[in-house]
């Protein structure tokens, strides 16, 4: 029996990774996020005492495979499976490194990981908890930026519905919430280890989580007070958000162009009866709109006297290129004013690998086989400001998953911007968890910049989020789901300038996150040097 358990020990960190994934939508058991980091550390230290890197990698792999399973819905099976496996295996390396460093740091010269925890002092365990939290944040910072970055499902975003607590993001970004969760999680683990290894010290168990719990309680109270004292909006704008729910295969099918256009027009006509201030279509609503369709669209909006924001492809010749050279293609958001004139365009800056460009395409042409796209887009150069309607509404446009990247949103939240508008298309991933996971990240962008975010999506989550991170209205179809076609007339609060003034995060960025990186480097280097000397000896 014991030998069987030894052979199956690898399942324990795998189960820890699954628990971690359940903290995120669509399961959304947010409480699991407060135990998952230490669960990963402890199970890896138990199952693989001499190889905690492997245990951490298995936990991280299980997490990503579970949380990112919506990638399998991409209508390109070979690329979907390859991308799902490769991305999950790569992301698991961050968890593996965190686990390995944490286990090595705590164990030191002790006989086992658990003996070291039980025999150490309270102050030392607190230092370990703080150090592990900083190290976790440091790896999230790297994950968000390395190789163009993938800041998806960062630990703190699992708490997107804990509105009072996440107000700390105005100062720390999502990193502050991740830090608190890891610190608290390690305190819980310390309590359990002491209960098992040193039951005579059970009176001291409460002290293991006392400090992080008090800080979480304090931040919750401060956040609740901040929300309660939020000033009344200076204006309310009616924004019509159109959700056509067009399957991705039909978006690519030129023969379906007319049907797509007709569906969008019919939804827009129905929405216009509610006299909105502006109508918003999602990303790539009409990637290949014809001149006749554009004139019909233009006439409809001029007759209604309402401006339109919509997504489509844009083409521009390369300056100085020889005749016949391929032009630049852009994923673009356009501003069509109430007079029927195209008065603004925003070109997407953060492109999706294998969805909008092929990495290393020039040197590794075979990479094209892993993606259904015919060619690569070019990236835009900077943020834009749309002044929409009368009275003018100052809009900061974002396309696709740009609202997942905190630095991109900081740049888009210009001083005059009153509302951020995200045009996105998650039809690539069917009816899955990607829609809510994306919206969870957007919640933090609203808090960090104190701007409401309006999201017009192809198949969910079409909604608006206020400047405190509350999801105020969500488009539901007839069955109550978020994925079907329809439109939402969002009554969006426009905050006074006193609320929109530059937050600490918008002024300074990831000061907290980069501080964790610096502290982690200075903490890890001496430990690595010690390990090297020990092996040399």
Spans of all domains in the chain: 2-229+512-536, 235-317+326-501
pLDDT attached to residue 272: 98
Residues 83-111, mean pLDDT to the nearest whole number:
92
Alpha-carbon Rg of the chain, whole angstroms?
25
Question: Is there a cis peptide before residue 391, judged by omega within 30 degrees of 0?
Answer: yes
Q: Of the given ranges (165-169, 370-374, 375-379), which has the lowest mean pLDDT?
A: 370-374
End-to-end CA distance of the chain: 39
More confident residue, 291 or 370: 291
Q: What percent of the chain has pLDDT over 70?
A: 91
Among 117-121, 180-184, 367-371, 478-482, which is the least confidently predicted range?
367-371
The 486-494 sheet, strands edge to edge: 342-347, 328-336, 308-316, 278-280, 235-243, 486-494
Place of tokens 């407060």: 34
Vertex 468 angle, CA 188 and 423, to 5° = 110
Which tens digit of pLDDT belongs to each residue from 115-157? 888 888 889 999 999 999 999 999 999 999 998 899 999 999 9
Pairwise CA distance, residues 529 & 522, whole Å: 11
Mean pLDDT of 20-47: 95
Average pLDDT over residues 455-465: 96
Query: How would DSSP label each residue in 489-500?
Result: EEEEEE--HHHH
User: Mind giving me the DSSP string for 431-476?
Assistant: SSTHHHHHHHHHHHHHHHHT--EEEEESSS--EEE-TTS-EEEE--
Could you give the percent of the chain with pLDDT greater than 90?
67
pLDDT for 445: 98
CATH number (2.30.40.10, 3.40.50.720, 3.10.20.30, 3.60.110.10) of 235-317+326-501 reads: 3.60.110.10
Q: How confident is the model at residue 198 (pLDDT cuts 50, 70, 90)?
A: confident
The pLDDT confidence band at residue 205, using thresholds 50, 70 and 90, is: low
Question: Are 445 and 532 in contact, with CB atoms under 8 Å apart?
Answer: no
In the predicted model, is pLDDT for residue 252 greater than 80? no
- If one compares 136 and 327, the residue with the highest pLDDT of the two is 136
d(CA 134, CA 520): 6
Question: What is the C-alpha separation between 219 and 437, in angstroms, rounded?
Answer: 24
Report pLDDT for 25: 94
User: Angle at the Cα of 135 (from 132 to 138), degrees rounded to 5?
Assistant: 155
pLDDT digits (tens, 9 = 90+) for 410-436: 999 999 999 999 999 998 898 999 999
What tokens were used for 400?
């696709």
SS3 333: strand
> Average pLDDT in the 86-95 region?
96
* Phi, psi of 197, rounded to the nearest 5 degrees: -90, -25
Helix or strand (DSSP H, E) at 210: helix 205-228
Number of residues written out for the chain: 537
Spatial separation of the C-alpha atoms in residues 73 and 80, rounded to whole Å: 7
Most confidently modeled of 203-212, 283-292, 440-449?
440-449
């Amino acid at each position: 029996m014991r030998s069987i358990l030894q052979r199956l020990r690898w399942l324990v960190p795998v189960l820890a990774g699954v628990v971690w994934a359940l903290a995120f939508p669509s399961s959304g058991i947010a409480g699991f996020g407060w135990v998952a980091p230490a669960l990963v550390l402890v199970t890896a230290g138990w199952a693989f005492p001499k190889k905690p890197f492997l245990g951490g990698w298995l936990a991280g792999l299980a997490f990503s495979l579970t949380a990112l399973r919506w990638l399998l819905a991409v209508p390109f099976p070979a690329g979907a499976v390859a991308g799902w496996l490769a991305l999950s295996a790569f992301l698991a390396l961050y968890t593996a490194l965190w686990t390995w460093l944490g286990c090595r740091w705590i164990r030191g010269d002790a006989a086992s990981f658990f003996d070291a925890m039980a025999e150490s002092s309270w102050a030392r365990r607190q230092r370990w908890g703080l150090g592990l939290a900083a190290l976790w944040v440091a790896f999230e910072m790297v994950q968000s930026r390395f190789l163009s970055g993938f800041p998806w499902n960062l630990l703190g975003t699992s708490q997107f519905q804990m509105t009072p607590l996440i107000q700390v993001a105005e100062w720390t970004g999502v990193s502050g919430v991740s830090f608190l969760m890891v610190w608290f999680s390690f305190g819980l683990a310390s309590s359990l280890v002491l209960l098992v290894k040193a039951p005579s010290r059970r009176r001291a168990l409460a002290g293991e989580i006392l400090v992080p719990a008090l800080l979480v309680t304090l931040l919750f109270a401060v956040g609740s007070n901040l929300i309660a004292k939020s000033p009344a909006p200076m204006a309310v704008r009616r924004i019509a958000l159109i959700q056509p729910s067009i399957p991705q295969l039909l978006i690519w099918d030129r023969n379906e162009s007319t049907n797509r256009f007709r569906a969008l027009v019919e939804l827009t006509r129905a929405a216009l009866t509610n006299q909105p201030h502006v109508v918003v279509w999602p990303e790539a609503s009409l990637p290949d709109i014809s001149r006749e369709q554009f004139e019909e669209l233009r006439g409809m909006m001029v007759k209604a006297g309402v401006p339109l924001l919509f997504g489509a492809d844009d083409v521009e010749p390369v300056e100085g290129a020889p005749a016949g050279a391929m032009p630049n293609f852009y994923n673009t958001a356009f501003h069509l004013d109430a007079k029927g004139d195209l008065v603004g365009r925003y070109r997407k800056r953060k492109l999706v690998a294998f969805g909008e460009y092929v990495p290393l395409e020039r040197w590794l042409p075979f990479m094209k086989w892993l993606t259904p796209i015919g060619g690569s887009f070019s990236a835009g150069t900077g943020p834009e400001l749309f002044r929409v309607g009368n009275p003018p509404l100052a809009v900061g446009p974002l396309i696709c998953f740009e609202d997942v990247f905190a630095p991109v949103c900081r740049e888009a939240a210009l001083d005059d911007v009153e509302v951020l508008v995200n045009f996105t298309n998650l039809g690539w991933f069917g009816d899955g968890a990607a829609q809510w996971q994306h919206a969870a990240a957007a919640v933090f962008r609203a808090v960090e910049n104190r701007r409401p975010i309006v999201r017009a999506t192809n198949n969910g989550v079409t909604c608006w989020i206020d400047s405190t991170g509350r999801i105020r209205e969500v488009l539901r179809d007839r069955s109550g789901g978020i994925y079907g076609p329809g439109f939402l007339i969002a009554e969006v609060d426009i905050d006074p300038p006193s609320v929109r003034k530059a937050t600490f995060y918008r002024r300074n960025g990831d000061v907290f996150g980069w501080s964790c990186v610096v502290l982690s480097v200075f903490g890890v280097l001496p430990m690595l040097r010690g390990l090297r000397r020990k092996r040399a000896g």
